[in-house]
Amino acid sequence: MSNLISQANAPFEGYVTVSADAPMGMLTLRGDLSSKPFITALKKSVSTDLPSACQITHDEKMSVAWMSPDELLILTPYDQVAGLQAKLQKALGKKHFLLADVSDARVSFTVSGDKVREVIAKLAPVDLAPDHFAPGMFRRTRFGQISAAFWLLSETEARVICFRSVAEFMFNQLSAAARPGSEVDLWS
């Protein structure tokens, strides 16, 4: 990750701060989320509540994001992903599912500051007004010309994930959106 963004891996200090996160463990799980036995088995290894559509749930160990009606993205510390994968594999047993480690396929960024909403609104065609997008929601969409997903950790902090190969592009376009002087003051 370190060499992906810039030599120094320094955050961009704009009117919000854009920084590349340390590697995060990520598992893609595909399976029938409407199947009770599947959910029951899943709950044995997943500590958080399972998210409903377009939501993300968190506890101290992991986050679970709803990707599609048959896909979850499970986020853990990087070094715990193998253990969790094995645990899930075992719990789900012979059920029809697909589980893959995608920790290295994706990268994540933290965007923080009072005006984090409007910076994201410069790139994603999503309604970011406070009463329309709140922490706990998870949105897969487009940031400029690339696919991405994001959620709010708080009113002043967002996390954005995208594919690894476009990490630098994402960092650069987030930084451009956060350029001092380009404040919109939309929700302040």
Per CB under 8 A, contacts with other proteins among 121-150 are: 121-129, 132, 139-142, 144-147
Binding residues for other proteins, how many (CB under 8 A)?
Answer: 61
Asked if 57 is part of the footprint of other proteins (rule: CB under 8 A), the reply reads no
DSSP the chain: -HHHH-SS-PPEESSSEEEEPPPEEEEEEEE-TT-HHHHHHHHHH--SPPP-TTBEEE-SS-EEEEEETTEEEEEEEGGGHHHHHHHHHHHHTTSSEEEEE-TTTEEEEEEESTTHHHHHHTTS-S---TTTS-TTBEEEEEETTEEEEEEEEETTEEEEEEEGGGHHHHHHHHHHHT-TT----S--
- Residue nearer to other proteins on the CB measure, 40 or 141: 141
- Residue nearer to other proteins on the CB measure, 82 or 153: 82
Among 43, 44, 90, 179, binds other proteins (CB under 8 A): 179
Catalog residues that contact other proteins under the rule CB under 8 A.
1, 3-4, 23, 28, 30-31, 53-54, 66-71, 96-98, 100-106, 118, 121-129, 132, 139-142, 144-147, 163-169, 172-173, 176-177, 179-182, 184, 186
